[in-house]
Structure 1
Amino acid sequence: MEKIASFTVDHLLLEPGVYVSRVDSWQGIDVTTLDLRMVAPNREPPMDTAAVHAIEHLGATFLRNDASWKERIVYFGPMGCRTGFYLVLFGLVTPREALPLIVRLFELIASFEGEVPGAQPKECGNWHDSDLAQARWWAKRYLKNTLRGIDDAHLSYPGQQA
């Protein structure tokens, strides 16, 4: 099998940021996958599954309700390595263009209080594996250390130009 594009990124150099993971086109429809990298791979511990699960539920709910972007949201979900999330959008979208949406998303998670949407047995296949306190901590960390004041070096993969 051919190596997929995401495995060609040097994860030993990759830092938290917002990156275009791939752009796919089919019958004139473009889809952009953004890599919302929250943890430095192989150098920092990955996020706990309960935190990832809470971020996933909050993120998917927020994004699919955002007045400006909801029609363009294809998918929001975690990376298997638990170092970040993929945000898949209709259209050609740069990290800089999506940044205000991503900041709003993580501000919501950082300050969210109450019941995590979809975290009930009738709504989720692993409803009890959710930790809002950890999700809030990770969101605050990503906002403070990465998203606020992000530079061009953290908007394109190592070795690629922005």
Structure 2
Amino acid sequence: MKVVVESFTMDHTKVTAPFVRKCGHITTPKGDVITKFDLRFTQPNAESMPTGVIHAIEHLLAGYLREELEDVVDISPMGCRTGFYLIKLGESTEEEIAKALINSLQKVIDCSDVPAANPIQCGNYRDMSLFGAKEYAKDIVEKLIKVYK
């Protein structure tokens, strides 16, 4: 492959999760800034989230991060199931994103259902674990608070 994929350039053996990392930044021809963040929840090559957990967290963060941050374009799970990519318009610091993530995960802990968990709004609505999402959120929030607050 001749294209350089940023996530393939990071040494996954030298990071400690959870963390927030600014991993991409482009300026469009019209001057708009698009920024990509690595929201790493679990330690690469040591732990991954079950699909039901990551799917529920994806649905929940889709709304909660937009409540915390302006100009969110997308929040998508990583194929390795160790975290998510956040894409947004404009510049933000890792600390701003981390605080928004902490606030969003605290909402996950307190929520009572997963939005759009039905056959009309989701292509795999049966594969979600709200219980698991809350358990991972509790663990990750505790760890992120130690680093970012």
What's the TM-score, normalizing by structure 1? 0.85
- Checking the alignment, whether the CA contact within 8 Å between 1:15 and 1:37 is kept in structure 2 is no
Higher relative contact order (CA 8 A, sep 6+): 1
The one-letter code matched in structure 1 to 2:25 is: V
Distance in 2, matches of 1:138 and 1:45, equals 12
Residue number in structure 2 paired with 1:160: none
Displacement of 1:97: 2.0
Residue number in structure 1 paired with 2:126: 128
Task: Could you tell me which runs of 5 or more consecutive residues in structure 2 were left unpaired when the two chains were aligned.
Answer: none
The CA RMSD over aligned residues, in Å, is 1.3
Residue number in structure 2 paired with 1:78: 77
Distance in 2, matches of 1:15 and 1:116, equals 29
Q: Percent identity?
A: 35
Residues 1:37 and 2:37 aligned together = no
Residue number in structure 2 paired with 1:117: 115
The one-letter code matched in structure 1 to 2:7 is: S
122, 126, 145: which one pairs with 1:148?
145
The one-letter code matched in structure 2 to 1:79 is: M
CA displacement 1:102-150 (0-9 Å, x = unmatched): 111110112222x2100001110100000001101111111112x1021
Secondary structure of the residue aligned to 2:86 is: strand
What's the TM-score, normalizing by structure 2? 0.92
